[in-house]
Structure 1
Amino acid sequence: MECRPANGDSDPNQNPDKNSVGPPSALTYLDPHYWDERFSSEEHYEWFKDYSHFQHLINSNINTSSSVLELGCGNSQLCEELYKDGIVDITCIDLSYVAVDKMQSRLLSKGYKEIKVVQADMLDLPFESECFDVVFEKGTMDVLFVDAGDPWNPRQETVSKVMATLDGVHRVLKPDGIFISITFGQPHFRRPLFMDPKFNWSMEYNTFGDGFHYFFYILRKGKRLIDEKEKDQKHNDPLINMYQDELEGEDYLFRTNIDADED
């Protein structure tokens, strides 16, 4: 079944703006106008490393026949990399009309006509139920946490937005679909939200990165076990030991804001 909206730099693996300075505060990421202005002038930026760093995890979890929904595509080249790996049934969404227009033009110029790009809000997904095999997000949900306050007890407004996103993802996933989330968020902060009793998916995760690790969560719909509600996966959080290229990237601004809340 085709998913459709319901009624009612020279090196593609490098960031051309790697050394650019981000906004003065991570709270700026909550302003839609900021993204429209940014996407108007910025051609490409990859949050949380480029595809080559987690390609092995994608290939282990996504079939080439899968229908994929990407939340918050921005100006990332992720959908293009998935397409090159043989995954062609891809729908990208972004809240910014500027990002959508520029992404559509870029994909058409490269001949990637099968990839669909839709202006939509991840808090209110405009798609029919149970129509995607995979929903994917890379750093998009992290924006919701920039003003969460205490990470152990986030503000209710933040929780409501996160749960609205997860409700929508769970709804549009097929009965055996998977949700992949790439994030800064450590398991002890994400598990209470991901594993809310209303969801019937299981949770596992991997890490990737050089000095600093990012988390690659895999939530498998229909695979949750009864005793998984109390299951507490043992893990050792990786030490924060960034290399110079990570210190210079905009990810570091985002990370330091989160760390400040955790202290």
Structure 2
Amino acid sequence: MDYVPDDNSRYKDVDYWDERYTTEQSYDWLGCFSKFRHILENHVKKEDSILILGCGNSSMSGDMYTAGYRSITNIDYSSVCISAMAARHSDCPDMTWRQMDVRQLCFPSMSFDVILEKATLDAISVEEKSPWDVSPQTACFFHQALSEISRCLKPGGRFVSVTFAQPHFRKRLYARTEYNWSIKQHSYGTGFLYYVYVMTKGEKLSPEDADLEKKLLEKKLLEDTKAPANRDTTTQHEDKEDFLSNIDL
């Protein structure tokens, strides 16, 4: 199978991923676990209960298990992926695999110490025209996912987001008082940087992030008072496997 789709919009299509996972063994967006392990070790304890969102066929879960992280739950919306990964890691009894949508997490509130995602949220943004003004559809997706993540975190729990999205773009989506978390950022890589955002449940936004949220709310209020304009929020991107480098969210 040629894993590069004809149109980048297919990266949001579960049928595409089901077909891809039927033959592809492993692929790691944004590098493997070893690339950011030094950052993760400062925020995730070996005994933490961990949920990995959009696990795909990445080696990250297995690498973390080998490193001593045992209580790991993996979810992906591709049933093909979940079946293949569960079979591959059948010798890891403390790891579980479930088909699930990140916008509807089927877990009780306050279930996890850590929720981790690597490029999962990036993948839904492949058709965005501007990183400064995401479409209502993408904004809604992010809000639904982040609300669920916050709900499922224990007090003091951490949401760890690994992405290539620079702070001045991604913080616009993460800095919301209603999520009830603070935001810290780290980076790794040489030449091209990747970012690790750590949101801690129960801590307040920094004054800088709170001010960002205030400005964004004021901007939205101003826009809502004006007559709505028809805007074409679709865009064409080059059909390359490294589509993540084509967006900057």
After superposition, residues 1-263 of structure 1 pair within 5 angstroms as 22-108=4-90, 111-225=91-205, 227=207, 228-230=209-211, 250-251=241-242, 253-256=243-246, 258=247
Using the TM superposition, give the Cα deviation of residue 29 of structure 1 relative to its aligned residue in structure 2, in angstroms: 0.3
Of 145-154 and 219-228, deviating more is 219-228
Structure 1 residues 141-164: Cα deviation after superposition (integer angstroms, max 9, x where no partner): 111211232211111010000000
- SS of aligned partner of 2:183: strand
- What is the rounded CA distance, in whole Å, between the counterparts of 1:147 and 1:134 in structure 2? 29
Gaps of 5+ in 2: 214-239
- Residue pair 1:203, 1:217 contacting (<8 A) in 2 also: yes
- Residue pair 1:44, 1:76 contacting (<8 A) in 2 also: yes
Gaps of 5+ in 1: 1-16, 233-248
Q: Which residue of 2 aligns with 1:11?
A: none
Using the TM superposition, give the Cα deviation of residue 211 of structure 1 relative to its aligned residue in structure 2, in angstroms: 1.9
**C-alpha root-mean-square deviation of aligned residues, in Å?**
1.9
What one-letter code is carried by the residue in structure 1 that aligns with 2:75?
Answer: I
Structure 1 residues 11-43: Cα deviation after superposition (integer angstroms, max 9, x where no partner): xxxxxx9xx762243222011110000000001
- Residue pair 1:141, 1:162 contacting (<8 A) in 2 also: yes
**Aligned residue-pair number:** 222
What one-letter code is carried by the residue in structure 2 that aligns with 1:255?
Answer: S
- What is the rounded CA distance, in whole Å, between the counterparts of 1:215 and 1:23 in structure 2? 26
Structure 1 residue runs of 4 or more that deviate by more than 6 Å after TM superposition? none
